[in-house]
Amino acid sequence: MNPATPFKTIRRHMSPGVATVYRAAGRGSHESEAAGATVRLADGREVVDFGSYGMAQLGHRCPRVVEAVAAQLRTMPTATRALANPAVTEFVRELTRRCGPDLNRVWLGSDGADAVEVATKLAIRVTGRTRLLAVRGAFHGKTLGALALTHAPMFHEGLQPLLGHVTHLPPEDPDAVAREVAEGDIAALVFEPIRGEGGVHPLAPDVAARWAADAQAAHAFVISDEVQVGLRRCGEFSIAVARGWNPDAVLFGKALGGGVMPISAMVATSALFQPLAQDPSWHTSTAGGHPLACAAATAALAAIDEHEERAREVSAGVQAGLRTLSKTHQDLVAEVRGTGLLWGVDLRLPSAHGVIAELAAAGLLVSPCLSSPPTIRLLPPMVATDDEITRAIEVLDTVLTEAK
């Protein structure tokens, strides 16, 4: 394929702005293949991938996941939806086993917003209440229901009359939920344990614990959105479960498909799941529970367990490198935050987007934070090698030096 062809097609049939960004990031080339944390471009250059919006937590082409999908593809690549499918049931069994006895019901979708939509619909249906609580700086997706929970005004423009009733809480206020539930109309509290797209800001554990307790005391449901931060991205399989916040639902996605297939899941209590237990047609998804995606996810769960120790080593290496950079470039780096395999670097600039583009051109892919423009978001895969970590830090050092 002519390297210019993808950009012409994107510009003509998709987004001219995206075509411009892609061309600049690849210096006129495009991605052609990948393995682990390294992506090869069509012109032969290689770049380190610490981005992919969290999809490639196991790196690209994880052998265990690829083999599982290939085996399923050779037997039954899609489901009739009229009969039980063992690829689906095996995945559901493995997922619930990791979430504890209370979270014993599963709904499957294709992306994170799918899981947010069904969880909030269930909460409203069960409680008969219409208002939801979320957090300032939150990101839960861009479909209409999820968008109401997403805080960034830039995504709301022109759509406000269609968005649901959501109150966004200041994350530093432990009394916020108690104050809101006193009005008696709250169906659910929805939060990310760490706001990833919002700038990599953790919700203080004592605040989260207090909020969850206050919500449940008022018979409102607690929904932990761990689409980006769960599955050991930040240490625990589920942060909310591990910290004893007793969530009524945990939402998973992104890395759940092993970087090979799109899949998301809501794992919920029987109380929240009740409408779907009574009538499974109440909220459905044609591609939800796709056998190829479920085969990928089952293999991904096993691979995540297998690489748990390496994830800690990668985290330590990235953290050490970023701490050194923050001292070397303290005139440009305002703060480094993060845990596990999720890190945010705040620059003393109105926007980090120019630096992010230069990083891509120099050999390091990272993710922006649209709701926090000065923040560079790094999502290293748990299989990154020491050499890939070193290369990533070196590229950051070079680009930050030039950015001065």
Looking at residue 24, what is its pLDDT? 87
Query: pLDDT category, 404, cuts 50, 70, 90?
Result: confident
Task: Could you list the beta-strand ranges (E) of 192-296.
Answer: 194-195, 201-202, 221-225, 249-252, 264-268
Which residues, including other chains, have CB under 8 Å from residue 316's CB and lie 6 or more apart?
A: none
Last residue of a domain, one of 306, 341, 359: 306
283-335 pLDDT per residue, tens: 999 999 999 999 999 999 999 999 999 999 999 999 999 999 999 999 999 99
What is the CB neighbour count within 10 angstroms for residue 20? 13
Q: Indicate the number of domains in the chain.
A: 2
The burial of 139, by beta-carbon neighbours within 10 Å (0-12 exposed, 13-18 middle, 19 or more buried), is given as buried
pLDDT, mean of residues 350-371: 95
Please report, for the domain that includes residue 206, its CATH number.
3.40.640.10
Domain identity same for 180 and 328: no
Q: Which helix (H) or strand (E) holds 243?
A: none
Q: Which of 316, 251, 216 is nearest to 111 (CA)?
A: 251
Query: Does one domain contain both 210 and 353?
Result: no
Res 163: pLDDT: 87
Confidence of residue 103 (pLDDT cuts 50, 70, 90): very high
Pair 235, 319 in one domain? no
pLDDT at position 2, please? 57
Three-state DSSP at 4 gives helix
**294 and 270 housed in the same domain:** yes
> In the predicted model, what is the mean pLDDT of residues 263-281?
98
Burial (CB count within 10 angstroms: exposed 0-12, middle 13-18, buried 19+), residue 231: buried
Decide: 194 and 234 in contact? Cβ < 8 Å: yes
User: Which of 306, 338, 365 is the endpoint of a domain?
Assistant: 306
pLDDT > 90 in the chain, percent: 93
Q: Is residue 102 within 8 Å of 96, Cβ to Cβ?
A: no
Task: Name every residue whose Cβ is closer than 8 Å to that of residue 175 and which is 6 or more positions away in sequence.
Answer: none
Distance in angstroms (rounded) separating the CA atoms of residues 111 and 130: 24
Q: What are phi and psi of 63, to 5 degrees?
A: -55, -40
Shared domain for 30 and 136, answered yes or no, is: no
pLDDT for res 4: 57
Six token digits for residue 52: 């992919």
What pLDDT score was predicted for residue 40? Answer: 97
Supply the range of the domain harboring residue 226: 63-306
Q: What percent of the chain has pLDDT over 70?
A: 99
pLDDT at 66 over 70: yes
pTM: 0.96
Residues 175, 74 share a domain: yes
Q: 342: domain CATH number?
A: 3.90.1150.10
Residue where one domain finishes, among candidates 251, 271, 306: 306
What mean pLDDT comes out for the span 169-196?
Answer: 97
How many separate helices (H) and strands (E) can be counted in the chain?
Answer: 14, 17
